[in-house]
Amino acid sequence: MKKIILGMLVIMGLVYFIFSYFFIDVQINKYADMETVKEQQVIEKGWIPSILPLSAYEITETHNIDTNELFGSFKYKEKDETSFIKHLTKDGSDVLQWENFLFKVDTKLNLVKFRNKPSH
């Protein structure tokens, strides 16, 4: 009887592991511009930082609902570069921070990659 119960527990554990490993809850979203971001209210959901410049476009974000990890990127028009960057603080050699977000800014490509700060 003990072997049957132990076997069932092992099988249930394996099923749980398989489902949680292969069926992670990751969502990828793409937005044409800030107007679309505002319409879909993703800033309020915490998926897009509210500091993005108005000229931001080709905005993408990937978030994992299970782990609360968030990654994203966007392009911007050069006219907004200075006003955007002045609100960021240094968090490392090439990493900038604003509130709970980390940014890497490529001024040559007018491209920003962002993520939320790890919780640990």
Is 5 a member of any domain? no
pLDDT digits (tens, 9 = 90+) for 98-110: 999 999 999 999 9
- Give a yes or no: residue 72 inside a domain: yes
First-last CA distance in the chain:
43
Instruction: Give me the domain span that covers residue 76.
Output: 25-116
Torsion, CA 117, CA 96, CA 51, CA 86, rounded to 10: 160
pLDDT value of residue 80? 94
Tell me: pLDDT of 67 over 70. yes
Instruction: Answer yes or no: pTM beyond 0.85.
Output: no
Q: Is residue 12 part of a domain?
A: no
Looking at the DSSP bridge assignments, the partners of residue 113 are: 73, 104
Q: 13-42: per-residue pLDDT in tens?
A: 777 766 656 666 888 999 999 999 999 999
Q: What is the mean pLDDT of residues 33-57?
A: 93
Question: What is the number of structural domains in the chain?
Answer: 1
